[in-house]
Amino acid sequence: MTSAVEVSAQRLRERGERVTPARLAVVEVLAGTEEHLSAEQIGERAEQLRPGIHRATVYRALDALGEFGLVTHVHLGRAGTTYHLAGDLAPRHLHLRCSECGTVYDAPGDVLESARKKLARELGFHLAPEQVALVGVCQNCSR
């Protein structure tokens, strides 16, 4: 099985983009966790993987990988912005944030599929719920 790092490197080469240590470190960090990491946390972990990589370089790598469709981010409200691998590099999922305790949960990516199709069919609107957190109250807080 091919790793996300190998697939990302190949896709960068196919696009004629540079395969840099910072870009590979970012992908490696994201592929190695299920946590919702901020840019700062990714920078810290990337520096541990590849000492000498500067935080600003990691931030530029995140931006570039986002432009190339390899990394995406989600706005979690007060919890900030987090990043994860995009497309077929990671399972498609949505984010749920509890407005009471702030916990972020992952939900299956197809949970809003009927709403997505209806909006496209009736309004020509293409919903991208992966970019935001759906806000509600979690099971623990609703007790």
Both tokens of residue 74? 């989600």
Residue with tokens 């592929």: 31
SS3 category, 61: helix
Is residue 141 part of an annotated ligand binding site?
yes
Residue whose C-alpha is closest to residue 58's, from 49, 92, 68, 4? 49
Both tokens of residue 46? 């990337």
Is residue 113 part of an annotated ligand binding site?
yes
Binding-site members for Zn(2+) are 98, 101, 138, 141
Write out the binding residues: 98, 101, 113, 138, 141
Known binding-site residue numbers for Fe cation: 113
